[in-house]
Structure 1
Amino acid sequence: MFKNYGWIVEAKLNPGQLENFKKVMNSQVNRALTEKGTLNYQYYMSDEGDVLVCERFSNADASHEHIENWDDHAARWIDAATPTRMVHLGDLPDDVRERHAALSPLWLKPLGGFAREQAADSRVTKDGDTQFENFGWIVEAKLNAGQLENFKGVMQDQVKRALTEEGTLNYQYYISDEGDILVYERFKDLASSHIHIENWDAHAQRWMAAATPTRMVHLGDLPQELRDRHAALAPLLLKPLGGFAK
């Protein structure tokens, strides 16, 4: 099992606001780099202006520090992009949940999996801005009625195998009290992602008997050969825009 304090924010870029959005993002990222407890602050965007931000913190206090960063940039951010959805990830205290009440965030708690904290820092610099490398995806699903124990069983078998995959850096399962499932998967490189797909193929039938996939998001500059493997879910492709993963 892993610990998690964080959230995902989704938004839609407002017309003609790309450069302004990049400016406010880079200002936030530069400040976040000074926040010792901010572990991940990763911005992604599709070619159509769909925005997704992954944020992860070492503890609840660190998340409060980062919220102050947001407060100082919120007006500029919302001028450039319109928030559409928020997902809280982890056992967040009530005072943090209340700070985001306006977006009515879905609350998902860790169910199983791992995050390799010893993984190498993925930060890179491009055109003077801090960015990160990323190969991975998010899968969302709904638990089928009466299938919680069966779902936990297949998840545990997948996690056990994934722990032998050196290139699988994150394999984190979350679930809400209402049976909403989210799986965050991140890999060292393209070859590692292909190895992990073999894990899925070996467990797919049991997995889908216990839960129904509803959405998939590809994260990173994934090649077409990999996107084709998931074509049935018509995944949204989001590419790294800025930020870091420590």
Structure 2
Amino acid sequence: MLNKAMWIIEGKIKPGKIQAYLDIMKERIDIVQKEDGIINYEWALGEDEESITIRVEYSDSATARMHLIKLANFADHYLKLIDLEKILVYSDLSPDLRDAISSLNPIYMNYIGGFSKSEDGVAQEITSEITKN
């Protein structure tokens, strides 16, 4: 299993809040680029200019925890701009990190197969911890 942590946030921008949302996105990207251990930080906007997805991938669970701590001051303002629909978490998070995001009702996903390639083209297998009878 990979050591990385990742979450995907899905939601809808509240009516009349798109410019504020875009402004906060630019601000967050500038800040987060300077953080160590963040592999991907991607914001997407649907053609309806309402549906959003944010994908954040971390080198490990400890990096995810540090990012969450830094995010705490920003989260209240951000959540006033969107209706949060779903958070998918791909990682074996530590109990304290699970507690920190429990109020957001995340769905915890387990990798069961596939692979990830490094830049040099070497594949790292994602192995399943699930066994079928």
TM-score range, shorter chain: 0.7 to 0.9
Say whether the 8 Å CA contact 1:4–1:110 is kept in structure 2: no
CA distance in 2 between partners of 1:65 and 1:113 (Å):
28
Give the drift of 1:66.
1.0
Counterparts in 2 of 1:65-214, with a 5 A limit? 65-118=66-119
Structure 1 runs, 4 residues or longer, greater than 6 Å off: 171-175
**Residue number in structure 1 paired with 2:47:** 47
Give the fraction of aligned pairs with identical amino acids, expressed as a percent: 19
1:106-165 Cα shifts (integer Å, max 9, x gaps)? 11112122222327xxxxxxxxxxxxxxxxxxxxxxxxxxxxxxxxxxxxxxxxxxx6xx
**Structure 1 unaligned blocks of 5 or more:** 120-162, 164-170, 178-246
- The corresponding residue for 2:61 is 60
**Cα distance change of structure 1 residues 81 and 3 upon mapping to structure 2, 3 Å threshold:** same
| Structure 2, unaligned runs of 5 or more | none
CA 1:172/1:25 → structure 2, altered by over 3 Å: closer, same or farther? farther
* Higher share in strand: 1
State the partner residue of 2:21: 21
| AA aligned opposite 1:44 | A
Structure with greater Cα Rg? 1
TM-score, normalising length from structure 1?
0.47
Please give the per-residue CA displacement for 1:11-35, whole angstroms capped at 9, x wherever unaligned.
1101111110011111111111111
Secondary structure of 2:36 counterpart: coil
Which amino acid in the other structure matches residue 104 of structure 1? Answer: N
Q: CA deviation at 1:91?
A: 1.2
Q: What's the secondary structure of 1:73's corresponding residue?
A: helix
Hey, what's the Cα distance between the residues in 1 that align with 2:70 and 2:53? 17
One-letter amino acid of the counterpart of residue 80, structure 1: L
The whole-number CA distance in structure 2 between the counterparts of 1:20 and 1:32 is: 18
Aligned residues: CA RMSD:
2.4
